[in-house]
Amino acid sequence: MTVDQDMELSSGISAFEAKHFANAANLLAPLADGGNAEAQYRMAIMCQNGLGRAQNDTDALKWMRLAADQAHAYAQHGLGFMFMQGECVDKDEVEAVKWMTLAANQGLPGSAMTLGLMYEQGQGVEKNEVEAKRWYKRAEENE
Protein backbone atom coordinates (compact mmCIF):
# COMPACT_ATOMS: atom_id res chain seq x y z
CA MET A 1 0.00 0.00 0.00
CA THR A 2 1.34 3.43 -0.88
CA VAL A 3 1.60 6.28 1.62
CA ASP A 4 -1.33 8.01 -0.14
CA GLN A 5 -3.48 4.86 0.07
CA ASP A 6 -2.56 4.45 3.72
CA MET A 7 -3.63 8.05 4.39
CA GLU A 8 -6.90 7.53 2.48
CA LEU A 9 -7.60 4.37 4.49
CA SER A 10 -6.92 6.19 7.78
CA SER A 11 -9.10 9.11 6.67
CA GLY A 12 -11.85 6.75 5.51
CA ILE A 13 -11.81 4.85 8.81
CA SER A 14 -11.87 8.11 10.75
CA ALA A 15 -14.85 9.34 8.72
CA PHE A 16 -16.60 5.98 9.25
CA GLU A 17 -16.04 6.08 13.01
CA ALA A 18 -17.21 9.70 13.14
CA LYS A 19 -20.40 8.56 11.34
CA HIS A 20 -19.62 10.68 8.25
CA PHE A 21 -20.58 7.76 6.06
CA ALA A 22 -20.91 9.51 2.69
CA ASN A 23 -17.36 10.84 3.07
CA ALA A 24 -16.15 7.44 4.31
CA ALA A 25 -17.67 5.72 1.28
CA ASN A 26 -15.98 8.18 -1.11
CA LEU A 27 -12.60 7.53 0.51
CA LEU A 28 -12.96 3.77 1.00
CA ALA A 29 -14.64 2.71 -2.27
CA PRO A 30 -11.50 3.05 -4.44
CA LEU A 31 -9.45 1.16 -1.84
CA ALA A 32 -12.09 -1.57 -1.62
CA ASP A 33 -12.08 -1.84 -5.42
CA GLY A 34 -8.29 -2.19 -5.17
CA GLY A 35 -8.60 -5.18 -2.83
CA ASN A 36 -8.08 -3.63 0.63
CA ALA A 37 -9.86 -5.96 3.09
CA GLU A 38 -10.47 -3.30 5.77
CA ALA A 39 -12.02 -0.95 3.20
CA GLN A 40 -14.12 -3.84 1.83
CA TYR A 41 -15.37 -4.71 5.32
CA ARG A 42 -16.41 -1.14 6.04
CA MET A 43 -18.06 -0.79 2.62
CA ALA A 44 -20.02 -3.97 3.42
CA ILE A 45 -21.28 -2.49 6.70
CA MET A 46 -22.34 0.74 4.96
CA CYS A 47 -24.11 -1.12 2.13
CA GLN A 48 -25.81 -3.54 4.52
CA ASN A 49 -27.18 -0.78 6.74
CA GLY A 50 -27.74 2.01 4.21
CA LEU A 51 -25.12 4.27 5.77
CA GLY A 52 -24.04 7.12 3.49
CA ARG A 53 -25.66 5.40 0.54
CA ALA A 54 -28.73 3.36 -0.31
CA GLN A 55 -28.94 -0.03 1.35
CA ASN A 56 -27.73 -2.68 -1.09
CA ASP A 57 -27.72 -6.33 0.01
CA THR A 58 -25.90 -7.50 -3.12
CA ASP A 59 -23.01 -5.10 -2.58
CA ALA A 60 -22.98 -5.79 1.17
CA LEU A 61 -22.57 -9.52 0.52
CA LYS A 62 -19.96 -8.93 -2.20
CA TRP A 63 -17.77 -6.69 -0.01
CA MET A 64 -18.16 -8.86 3.11
CA ARG A 65 -17.21 -12.01 1.20
CA LEU A 66 -14.21 -10.35 -0.47
CA ALA A 67 -12.88 -9.19 2.90
CA ALA A 68 -13.66 -12.52 4.59
CA ASP A 69 -11.85 -14.41 1.83
CA GLN A 70 -8.76 -12.36 2.74
CA ALA A 71 -8.99 -13.65 6.35
CA HIS A 72 -10.39 -10.39 7.77
CA ALA A 73 -11.70 -11.71 11.10
CA TYR A 74 -14.54 -9.20 11.53
CA ALA A 75 -15.67 -9.81 7.96
CA GLN A 76 -15.63 -13.56 8.60
CA HIS A 77 -17.81 -12.98 11.65
CA GLY A 78 -20.05 -10.64 9.64
CA LEU A 79 -20.43 -13.13 6.81
CA GLY A 80 -21.18 -15.89 9.31
CA PHE A 81 -23.84 -13.67 10.87
CA MET A 82 -25.34 -12.96 7.44
CA PHE A 83 -25.67 -16.70 6.77
CA MET A 84 -26.96 -17.39 10.29
CA GLN A 85 -29.70 -14.74 10.05
CA GLY A 86 -30.41 -14.91 6.33
CA GLU A 87 -29.40 -11.25 5.89
CA CYS A 88 -28.29 -10.29 2.36
CA VAL A 89 -28.12 -14.01 1.54
CA ASP A 90 -30.23 -17.14 1.93
CA LYS A 91 -30.04 -18.53 5.45
CA ASP A 92 -27.45 -21.31 5.67
CA GLU A 93 -26.45 -22.31 9.19
CA VAL A 94 -23.77 -24.76 8.00
CA GLU A 95 -22.08 -21.94 6.09
CA ALA A 96 -22.52 -19.71 9.17
CA VAL A 97 -20.61 -22.23 11.31
CA LYS A 98 -17.78 -22.30 8.75
CA TRP A 99 -17.27 -18.52 8.83
CA MET A 100 -17.79 -18.17 12.59
CA THR A 101 -15.18 -20.88 13.16
CA LEU A 102 -12.65 -19.04 10.99
CA ALA A 103 -13.28 -15.81 12.92
CA ALA A 104 -13.21 -17.53 16.34
CA ASN A 105 -9.92 -19.20 15.44
CA GLN A 106 -8.51 -15.69 14.96
CA GLY A 107 -9.47 -14.84 18.53
CA LEU A 108 -12.84 -13.08 18.20
CA PRO A 109 -14.73 -13.82 21.43
CA GLY A 110 -18.12 -12.94 19.90
CA SER A 111 -17.61 -15.57 17.21
CA ALA A 112 -16.62 -18.19 19.78
CA MET A 113 -19.69 -17.31 21.88
CA THR A 114 -21.91 -17.61 18.81
CA LEU A 115 -20.41 -21.02 18.03
CA GLY A 116 -21.10 -22.10 21.60
CA LEU A 117 -24.75 -21.18 21.13
CA MET A 118 -24.90 -22.92 17.76
CA TYR A 119 -23.48 -26.14 19.22
CA GLU A 120 -25.75 -25.87 22.26
CA GLN A 121 -28.84 -25.46 20.07
CA GLY A 122 -27.79 -27.67 17.16
CA GLN A 123 -27.82 -24.85 14.58
CA GLY A 124 -25.82 -25.84 11.50
CA VAL A 125 -24.10 -28.56 13.53
CA GLU A 126 -25.15 -31.56 15.55
CA LYS A 127 -26.07 -30.60 19.12
CA ASN A 128 -22.97 -31.06 21.26
CA GLU A 129 -22.79 -29.77 24.85
CA VAL A 130 -19.08 -30.57 25.17
CA GLU A 131 -18.23 -28.59 22.03
CA ALA A 132 -20.53 -25.75 23.16
CA LYS A 133 -18.68 -25.51 26.49
CA ARG A 134 -15.32 -25.56 24.69
CA TRP A 135 -16.35 -22.56 22.55
CA TYR A 136 -17.76 -20.70 25.56
CA LYS A 137 -14.46 -21.24 27.37
CA ARG A 138 -12.53 -19.92 24.34
CA ALA A 139 -14.77 -16.86 24.27
CA GLU A 140 -13.96 -16.14 27.93
CA GLU A 141 -10.23 -16.63 27.33
CA ASN A 142 -10.23 -14.19 24.40
CA GLU A 143 -12.14 -11.37 26.11
Counted residue by residue, the chain has a size of 143
Number of helices (H), then strands (E), in the chain: 8, 0
Residue 1 confidence (pLDDT) above 90: no
Average pLDDT value for the chain: 96
| Phi, psi for 52 (deg, rounded to 5) | 75, 5
What is the mean pLDDT of the segment spanning 20-42?
97
pLDDT in the model for residue 123: 96
Residues 107-117 have pLDDT tens digits of 999 999 999 99
% pLDDT > 70, the chain = 100
Q: Which fold has domain 73-143?
A: 1.25.40
Contact present, 90 and 67 (Cβ < 8 Å): no
Task: Give the burial class of 39: count Cβ atoms within 10 A of its Cβ; 0-12 exposed, 13-18 middle, 19 or more buried.
Answer: buried
What is the mean pLDDT of the segment spanning 85-97?
97
What is the mean pLDDT of the segment spanning 43-71?
97
